[in-house]
């Protein structure tokens, strides 16, 4: 099992004829993802990567291919438009990789998508991968993943790869890995993903990778306190050494108050029973310990 | 991107928000002329991108144009060191000369994006004049939050609620509504990530005036805010950080001596944490980025390799879009000749890691390959013990 994606996921790539779009569509196909088409306005009727049909609009792509997921690789200035178009065409899962989408655009996008019942992952995220279903919708290196029963949810890209690498090295496979994105406004929160993992019978435990800024980790802690997620949780918070007020690459990571500090987030999660990895170097070891406790 | 107070106030005024009478000056003579025009008591305020100006002597109260000129002469061309700047301070290139006013009440007013709610939020408090962080620690009950529905925008009833909660009288409450409505419009129009008015004052005449103003434009929206982008003052930013910004590189200068070259913001922060937990201090935060060619990587890593405070380098790259060999070639290209002895601790994983390792091993640079970060910490310790 898995969350968000499975063997029935049919993916279209918005921006498939761009450099990034073509490259990652190829990578996804090689991994085994069912990429059924692409969308680039003005390029409809052509094909890319040997056989993938290109459409002028998401609606045409959905009508022709029965796509039920979309991944977006278009520049920031046009990203909001493509997310809205995907939701309007009835796509239930929209994953936006694009970095640097203005937050004002996301205010409207998140509302519009919620009203249409679409799930948005990102923007500014590595995407979603479920190794057991050979379904990768994103930019993560597929080869580091192994099928298994640990879920991973993270605000970061490469730090997620680091966590997955350590898990795989420790012999721990993953059910689904979700990068929710590093921006201030993203479509899906830790709470949403923990809720999905809670309901997934094949996920036994979750690794949560948080970082400084905002209060999303505290909201996850509240959700756990209220009983929304009861499986074991391993957590690590990046940015313990960040000086207050400095922006560390992710717009979401500005320390805006004490709640945004790494120490506060660690405390909130530890209080509801999460096992905290002291640093990101010890995610694999910490997960091994927790899982050994489960089987023993 | 931060605006100066004088830029923020010009922007506020263009939206109909009331600000004190005043003018900006870049010479003492100009300050004199502004003060003459205003007449009477004035305040001369250093224009820097940092808080804590008052305590640092950057805000001077003067009673004549002559004194305004002297205050401007004392501030202009100096570097102001405040609690929020690094020890070198920031240069004062302009002063804002403003009329003083009789204040009855000082309020705090801020608008920012609430990421969790996915909407703008107005933060207000009757305890204006204090830093909001101070209010949050000392009297959190005085902080009011009003979430704004972006479809309908800021509404008068929300202003009335804030007025009641802050104890404003009927006249002041009536004056507050158009001011807050204008501030919200500005916030949305200009793609702000923050508007902070502290203090927003109620004058003796029950006018509402923005006595100070901090406006930050979201960097990601500058492409469609050309008028705002023009207001950037690179002199206010750390030289290395300013260079990075011009080139679109995520870089923050820190105090330590371990240069960190990492791809991805999260992994970069996590790497810094590991360095710090081991008792060492990172010299920088740097996201080397993904998918760049060696020349572009060289440009990026040069910020770290040429930083005189850097004594050793930790490279941690998880190749995905980024290719380890491109980053290795970039490091070789960028390393200054006289620093070839500097120890470089390298961990490459993912795309083209073997090729990357080979490039570095063959470069003649002082390379310490490691398999994981815990081993990296051991190497740091070994290098530190003579």
List pLDDT tens digits, range A68-93: 999 999 999 999 999 999 999 999 99
> Across residues B82-109, what is the average pLDDT?
92
Nearest CB to B254; choose among A161, A216, A243: A243
Cis amide leading into B304 (omega within 30)? no
Minimum distance, in Å, between the CA of residue B276 and any CA atom of chain A: 7
Three-class DSSP labels, B204-266: CCCCEEECCCEEEECHHHHHHCHHHHCCCCHHHCCHHHHHHHHCCCEEEECCCCEEEEECCHH
Least confident piece of the model among A6-15, A83-92, B128-137: B128-137
Least confident of A32-36, A128-132, B231-235: B231-235
Provide mean pLDDT across the span B255-273: 92
pLDDT tens for B286-298 read 988 766 778 888 8
User: So what's the pLDDT on residue B373?
Assistant: 86
pLDDT confidence band for A102 (50 / 70 / 90): very high
Q: If DSSP codes are grouped into helix, strand and coil, which group holds residue B38?
A: helix
In angstroms, the first-to-last Cα distance of chain B is: 44
Concatenate the DSSP letters of all residues of B115-166 into one string: TTTTEEEEEEES-TTS-HHHHHHH-GGGEEEEE--TTT-S-HHHHHHHHHHH
Gap between the Cα atoms of B316 and A197, Å rounded: 31
Domain locations along chain B? 1-20+102-237, 21-100, 238-384
Report the residue from B193, B265, B274 with minimal CB separation from A103. Answer: B193
Chain B residues within an 8 Å CB radius of A155: 266
**What does chain A come to in residues?**
296
In CATH terms, are A11-121 and A140-295 the same topology? yes
**Known catalytic residue: B108?**
yes
Cis peptide before B250 (omega within 30 of 0): no
pLDDT of B311 > 80? The answer is yes
Check whether B324 has a pLDDT greater than 80.
yes
Give the best-scoring range by mean pLDDT among A102-106, A239-243, A258-262. A102-106
Nearest to A157 among B218, B266, B272 (CB): B266
How far is it, in rounded angstroms, from Cα A294 to Cα A277?
Answer: 17
Q: CATH top-level class for B1-20+102-237?
A: alpha beta
> Chain B contacts of A251, Cβ < 8 Å?
193, 218-220
Give A227's contacts (C-beta < 8 A, 6+ positions apart): none
The Cα of A63 is separated from the nearest Cα of chain B by a number of Å equal to 31
Residue A247 pLDDT: 57
Q: Supply angle C-alpha A265, A270, A273, rounded to 5.
A: 140
Read off the pLDDT band of A246 (50, 70, 90). low
In terms of Cα–Cα distance, which of A175, A273, A186 is closest to A229?
A273
Q: Do A249 and B285 make contact, defined as CB atoms within 8 angstroms?
A: yes
Residue B60 has a pLDDT of: 96
The CATH code of the domain at A140-295 is 3.40.50.261
CA distance A99 to A107: 16
Average pLDDT over residues B151-161: 96
Distance CA B102, CA B16 (A): 21
Cβ–Cβ < 8 Å for A151, A174 = yes
Query: Burial level of B268, CB count in 10 A (0-12/13-18/19+)?
Result: buried
Statement: residue A295 has pLDDT above 90: no
Give whichever of A66-80, B44-58, B81-95 has the largest mean pLDDT.
A66-80
Instruction: State residue A255's pLDDT score.
Output: 45
Question: With bands split at pLDDT 50, 70 and 90, how would you rate the model's confidence at A258?
Answer: low
Chain A residue closest to B250 (CA)? Answer: A249
Task: Give the position of tokens 């004549």.
Answer: B64
Banded model confidence at residue A288, pLDDT cuts 50, 70, 90? very high
In angstroms, the Cα distances linking B76 to B32, B69, B94, B237 are 13, 10, 6, 17
| Least confident window among B67-76, B80-89, B243-252, B349-358 | B243-252
Residue A254 has pLDDT above 50, yes or no: no
More confident residue, A59 or B129: A59
Domain B238-384 belongs to what architecture? 3-Layer(aba) Sandwich (3.40)
- Which pLDDT value is given to residue B252? 86
Would the CB atoms of B270 and A258 count as touching at under 8 Å?
Answer: no
User: Taking the domains of chain A in order of start, what are their residue ranges?
Assistant: 11-121, 140-295
Name chain A contacts of B319, Cβ cutoff 8 Å. Answer: 141
Asked whether this complex has an ipTM greater than 0.90, the answer is no
Q: Which of B35-49, B79-93, B166-180 has the lowest mean pLDDT?
A: B79-93
CATH class of B21-100: alpha beta
Residues of A with catalytic roles: 250
Residue A261: per-residue pLDDT: 84
Give phi and psi for B46, each to the nearest 5. Answer: -60, 135
pLDDT number for residue A256: 56
| Least confident interval from B22-36, B90-104, B321-335 | B321-335
Confidence of residue B269 (pLDDT cuts 50, 70, 90): very high
The per-residue pLDDT for B291 is 66
Rounded average pLDDT over A133-145 = 94
pLDDT tens per residue across span B168-203: 999 999 999 999 999 999 999 999 999 999 999 999
DSSP state of B356: H
Residue from A177, A252, A190, A231 nearest A2 by CA? A177
Classify A11-121 by CATH class.
alpha beta
Mean pLDDT of chain B: 92
- Residue A5 pLDDT level (bands cut at 50, 70, 90): very high
Q: A61-75, B22-36, B284-298, B324-338: which has the minimum mean pLDDT?
A: B284-298
Backbone angles phi, psi at B277, to 5 degrees: -60, -25
Q: A231 vs chain B: nearest CA distance in angstroms?
A: 24
* Residue A249: per-residue pLDDT: 56
In which band, very low, low, confident or very high, does the pLDDT at B238 lie, cut at 50, 70 and 90? confident
Percentage above 70 pLDDT, chain B:
99
Closest residue in chain A to residue B279, using alpha carbons only: A241
For the cut 60, the answer to whether the pLDDT of residue A293 exceeds it is yes
């Amino acid at each position: 099992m898995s969350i968000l994606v499975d063997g029935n996921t049919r993916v279209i790539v918005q921006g498939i004829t761009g450099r990034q779009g073509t490259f990652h569509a190829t990578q996804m196909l090689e991994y085994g993802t069912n990429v059924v088409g692409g969308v680039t306005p003005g390029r409809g009727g052509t094909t890319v990567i040997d056989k993938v049909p290109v459409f002028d609009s998401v609606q045409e792509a959905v009508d022709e291919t029965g796509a039920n997921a979309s991944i977006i690789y278009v520049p920031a200035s046009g990203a909001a438009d493509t997310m809205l178009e995907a939701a309007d065409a009835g796509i239930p899962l929209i994953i936006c990789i694009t970095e640097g989408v203005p937050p004002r655009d996301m205010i409207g996008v998140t509302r519009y998508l919620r009203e249409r019942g679409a799930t948005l992952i990102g923007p500014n995220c590595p995407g979603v991968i479920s190794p057991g279903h050979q379904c990768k919708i994103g930019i993560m290196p597929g080869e580091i993943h192994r099928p298994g029963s640990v879920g991973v949810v993270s605000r970061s890209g490469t730090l997620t790869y680091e966590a997955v690498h350590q898990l795989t090295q420790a012999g721990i496979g993953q059910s689904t890995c979700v990068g929710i994105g590093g921006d201030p406004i993203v479509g899906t929160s830790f709470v949403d993903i923990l809720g999905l993992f809670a309901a997934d019978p094949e996920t036994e435990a979750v690794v949560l990778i948080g970082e400084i800024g905002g209060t999303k980790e505290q909201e996850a802690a509240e959700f756990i306190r209220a009983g929304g997620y009861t499986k074991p949780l391993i957590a690590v918070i990046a940015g313990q050494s960040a000086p207050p007020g400095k922006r560390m690459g992710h717009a979401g990571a500005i320390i805006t108050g004490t709640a945004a500090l790494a120490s506060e987030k660690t405390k909130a999660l530890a209080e509801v029973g999460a096992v905290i990895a002291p640093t990101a170097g010890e995610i694999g070891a910490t997960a091994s310990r927790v899982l050994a406790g489960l089987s023993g | 991107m931060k605006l100066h107070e004088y830029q923020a106030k010009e922007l506020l005024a263009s939206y109909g928000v009331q600000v004190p009478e005043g003018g900006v000056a870049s010479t003492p003579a100009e300050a004199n002329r502004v003060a003459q025009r205003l007449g009477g008591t004035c305040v001369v305020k250093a224009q820097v991108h940092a808080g804590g100006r008052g305590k640092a002597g950057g805000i001077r109260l003067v009673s004549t144009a002559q004194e305004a000129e002297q205050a401007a002469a004392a501030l202009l061309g100096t570097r102001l060191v405040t609690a929020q700047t690094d020890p070198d301070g920031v240069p004062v290139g302009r002063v804002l000369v403003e009329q003083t006013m009789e204040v009855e009440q000082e309020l705090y007013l801020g608008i920012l994006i609430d990421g969790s709610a996915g909407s703008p939020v107005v933060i207000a408090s009757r305890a204006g004049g204090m830093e909001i962080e101070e209010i949050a620690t000392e009297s959190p009950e005085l902080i009011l939050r009003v979430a704004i529905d972006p479809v309908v925008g800021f509404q008068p009833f929300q202003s009335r609620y804030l007025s009641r909660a802050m104890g404003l009288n009927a006249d002041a409450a009536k004056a507050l509504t158009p001011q807050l409505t204008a501030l919200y419009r500005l916030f949305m129009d200009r793609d702000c990530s923050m508007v902070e008015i502290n203090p927003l004052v109620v004058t003796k005449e029950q006018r509402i005036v923005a006595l100070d103003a901090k406006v930050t434009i979201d960097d990601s929206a500058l492409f469609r805010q050309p008028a705002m982008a023009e207001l950037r003052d690179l002199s206010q930013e750390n030289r290395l950080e300013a260079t990075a910004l011009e080139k679109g590189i995520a870089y923050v200068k820190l105090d330590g001596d371990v240069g960190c070259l990492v791809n991805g913001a999260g992994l970069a922060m996590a790497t810094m944490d590991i360095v710090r937990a081991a008792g060492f201090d990172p010299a920088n935060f740097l996201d080397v980025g993904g998918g760049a060619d060696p020349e572009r990587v060289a440009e990026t890593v040069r910020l770290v390799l040429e930083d005189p405070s850097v004594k050793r380098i930790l490279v941690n790259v998880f190749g995905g879009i980024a290719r380890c060999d491109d980053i290795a070639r970039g490091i070789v290209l960028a390393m200054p000749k006289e620093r070839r002895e500097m120890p470089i601790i390298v961990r490459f994983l993912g795309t083209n890691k073997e090729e990357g390792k080979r490039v570095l091993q063959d470069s003649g640079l002082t390379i310490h390959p490691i398999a994981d970060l815990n081993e990296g910490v051991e190497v740091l310790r070994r290098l530190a013990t003579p």
